[in-house]
Structure 1
Amino acid sequence: MSKKKSNTYWFISVPAEGNKTVVLENLKSKLPSDLAEVDQFIIPEFKIGTLDALVVISDELIKYDQYFESAVMRIVDILRNLKDDINNNLVVNDKTVDQYLKTFQWDTMKFRAEKSMQEIAEILNQEVTRIDNTMKSKLSSYNQVKGNLQALERKQTGNLSVRNIADLVKKEHFVMDSEYLTTLLVAVPKNRYKDWLSKYETLVQFVVPRSSQKIAEDEEYGLFTVTLFKRVTDDFTHRCREERFVVREFQYNENEMANQRKEFEEVGATEKELFNSLLHLSSANFGEVFSAWIHLKALRVYVESVLRYGLPPDFMSAMIKPKYKMEKKIREVLIVQYGKLGGTLGKDGSKDIIEEYHNLVDTDYYPYVWFQIQFNVFKR
């Protein structure tokens, strides 16, 4: 039996103490492969302004982070509605999400590190906003056409009492161009055929004798013609309703029927075209928005690390992928290793006040910098 996989990724940073490599290797030694996968999360150096500016941008990044996550998930939801299996569509720079995160490199061409962090964050936000608005517009157009197609398709489904019957009738079934006579189409329940044949001529006056013929049948109904004088059509319809015979509203018009078939074909072709376009656009834009989201996470790690550990920046950032149901164990290891950063350990290094510490602060606050993303929602 294959082991279940975790779809959670953590981004952490701890003081580098002048040697990021040593700190990274020490972290890997404390978190062996049966607990987690650990990779360095490389972040470039950024321009650092005042402490007040860092606090401001920290608050802004929280809002951007929430928006970017929502934008990513909207694209995922679109893909889910278009395809049963979307794993092959969740690609970032020609890599799977997992590969992209483990080998993350800051895109220096798109997001130049010499710009201020405020400028970089705004560029990221503008890109995600542009893509998000485009996706909303494309989705709206597709849903409108899809709704039109579904409405037309509903007319082609159901039993003979409700479905479109234009494809079942022929010109010879009708009395055409008569000043006095008309032909009606009536859906008769299959268990009422005998009643129909014995009653239809006498339901009202002025019904043409022996004018009824069955032209179609499904599991529930038969579709019969009947010819009568136009002036008794309303009375005949009323009497049919009393007998549970369903008179269909239908006028034989070849031009109108041809237009209906053309409309159905055109709407179907448009829906298919928009479907393929939306699928392609969603796949491409997932990678763009997800990449922007992880760049933003990198900014958050950098800003929070400077606020936590001070200047000059000297920290090691890593990406941790916990093994299935190992989050609690990993957290315990990290607390033992880095709890002193937040004063959470006893003098002997034990965890005697960890619980008290967590009762006093936000449950998402730890003595080391920590953020996460979760992907279990990406799976059906």
Structure 2
Amino acid sequence: MANRYWVVSLPVQNNNSSSSIWNQLQQNISKHSFDTPLYRFNIPNLRVGTLDSLLSLSDDLTKSNAFMEGVSLKIRRQIEELERVSGVNTAGLTVDGVPVDSYLTRFVWDDAKYPTMSPLKEIVDGIHGLVAKIEDDLKVRVSEYNNIRSQLNSINRKQTGSLAVRDISNLVKPEDIITSEHLTTLLAVVSKYSQKEWLASYETLTSYVVPRSSKQLYEDNEYALYTVTLFNRVADNFRTSAREKGFQIRDFEYSPETHESRKQELDKLMQDQESLRGSLLQWCYTSYGEVFSSWMHFCAVRLFAESILRYGLPPSFLACVLAPSVKAEKKVRSILEGLSDSSNSAYWKTDEDLGGGMAGLAGDADTHPYVSFTINLL
């Protein structure tokens, strides 16, 4: 599948027919750029309206196209992220059950969804409204999913951060804690470089500390977690003395109910995340197809309107899709220009093409004597 396609229209003039121009294009592409895929782009007879309405519509077409391409890209990137996290590897995105590139190269107008007798502005507004609604839905769904992810990330940070800040409830077992009428167990966070000092001094930080009661429960790259058992009535004095020595006493009260509640909360968040990820991914698959289909109908309207503004009435042009490689682009452009009415084609050339001469009428390096715009699939 190519990543970039050109959608172009060539004028049909001088007693030629679209079939004749098509045959010439096929022959030239086959002879000079045989590796460039070429397809007809089938546009129905749409309602032209007035020249003023076409001019007014033309002002909005480029902006609307950028919007639709942007929404398509957002959904595609969201799909790629979700598939990467989920470990899903799909065969490829589809539109109406066919691969994306096949939908573009075999485009068929959906008259039931977009009646051809409707004014062009009405069709464009309808397409824009549908894509805008999908974008709004995307924002809501992604926000909901990211909220769950943020909650889980916050919990994970508390469980994986340094001992100075992390949740230590999953590091402490019931048998590590002594709580009675007179005794209590405190938890001390000690720098790895101060462990010898801790073990040598904790019994003397205050009176009534149980000798040899300190036990290491856990160690990370920076700190170690120790218990110490002492009389309740000297606990505050011990905290003060420990702080002066650079030891941190973590407030902790072991509760089986709290521990179980936190575990259940974490399990539920993980289940919610998996559920939301799956539903968001399925929604993205469907919505990408809807957006891409809408975008291609919009491109058909855009090509139709710009071709009339370029070539005049009645509508008489050949619409096609090409996928040239980067190295073949210049040659294909030359072929397309040769099949256009080139009596004034010099006015459409860029400074570079003219060797530094007069700029093109539109002052745009991507302006040609035929209608052309690019569709990026990635």
- TM-score tier by shorter-chain length is 0.7 to 0.9
Report if aligned partners of 1:344, 1:354 keep a CA contact under 8 Å in 2: no
Query: Partner of 2:17 in structure 1?
Result: 19
Report if aligned partners of 2:189, 2:250 keep a CA contact under 8 Å in 1: yes
Report if aligned partners of 2:184, 2:229 keep a CA contact under 8 Å in 1: yes
Task: After TM superposition, list the pairs within 5 Å mapping 1:1-380 onto structure 2.
Answer: 7-17=3-13, 19-32=17-30, 33-84=33-84, 88-178=91-181, 180-190=182-192, 192-218=194-220, 221-338=223-340, 340=342, 342-344=344-346, 353=354, 356=357, 358-361=359-362, 362-375=364-377, 378=378
In 1, Cα distance between the equivalents of 2:353 and 2:237? 90
Quote the offset at 1:139 in angstroms: 0.5
Report if aligned partners of 2:11, 2:340 keep a CA contact under 8 Å in 1: no
Report if aligned partners of 1:215, 1:223 keep a CA contact under 8 Å in 2: yes
Describe the shift of the 1:325–1:181 C-alpha distance in structure 2 as closer, same or farther (beyond 3 A). Answer: farther
Report if aligned partners of 1:341, 1:368 keep a CA contact under 8 Å in 2: no
In 2, Cα distance between the equivalents of 1:326 and 1:340? 21
Q: Match of 2:61, as an amino acid?
A: L
Q: TM-score, normalised by structure 1?
A: 0.87
Quote the offset at 1:238 in angstroms: 4.2
Quote the offset at 1:370 in angstroms: 0.8
Cα deviation digits, residues 125-170 of structure 1 (max 9, x gap):
1211111111110001111111001111112213444432222322
Report if aligned partners of 1:184, 1:227 keep a CA contact under 8 Å in 2: yes
Quote the offset at 1:53 in angstroms: 0.7
Report if aligned partners of 1:322, 1:330 keep a CA contact under 8 Å in 2: yes
Report if aligned partners of 2:12, 2:317 keep a CA contact under 8 Å in 1: yes
Describe the shift of the 1:294–1:150 C-alpha distance in structure 2 as closer, same or farther (beyond 3 A). Answer: same
Q: Match of 1:38, as an amino acid?
A: L
Q: Match of 2:227, as an amino acid?
A: T
Q: Match of 1:223, as an amino acid?
A: L
Q: TM-score, normalised by structure 2?
A: 0.88
In 2, Cα distance between the equivalents of 1:95 and 1:301? 23
Structure 2 residue runs without a partner (length 5+) = none
Quote the offset at 1:231 in angstroms: 4.9
Describe the shift of the 1:299–1:87 C-alpha distance in structure 2 as closer, same or farther (beyond 3 A). Answer: farther
Quote the offset at 1:35 in angstroms: 5.0
Q: Match of 1:28, as an amino acid?
A: Q
Structure 1 residue runs without a partner (length 5+) = 346-350
Report if aligned partners of 1:80, 1:86 keep a CA contact under 8 Å in 2: no
In 2, Cα distance between the equivalents of 1:87 and 1:335? 40
Describe the shift of the 1:285–1:12 C-alpha distance in structure 2 as closer, same or farther (beyond 3 A). Answer: same
Quote the offset at 1:199 in angstroms: 0.9
Quote the offset at 1:201 in angstroms: 0.7
Quote the offset at 1:173 in angstroms: 2.1
Report if aligned partners of 1:6, 1:325 keep a CA contact under 8 Å in 2: no
Q: Which runs of 4+ in 1 moved over 6 A?
A: none
Describe the shift of the 1:360–1:208 C-alpha distance in structure 2 as closer, same or farther (beyond 3 A). Answer: same
Quote the offset at 1:219 in angstroms: 5.7
Quote the offset at 1:352 in angstroms: 8.3
In 2, Cα distance between the equivalents of 1:356 and 1:318? 31
Quote the offset at 1:188 in angstroms: 3.3
| CA RMSD in angstroms, aligned pairs only | 2.6
In 2, Cα distance between the equivalents of 1:295 and 1:185? 67
Q: Match of 2:106, as an amino acid?
A: T
Cα deviation digits, residues 87-146 of structure 1 (max 9, x gap):
745322222222121111111221121211111112111211111111110001111111
Identity of aligned residues (%): 37
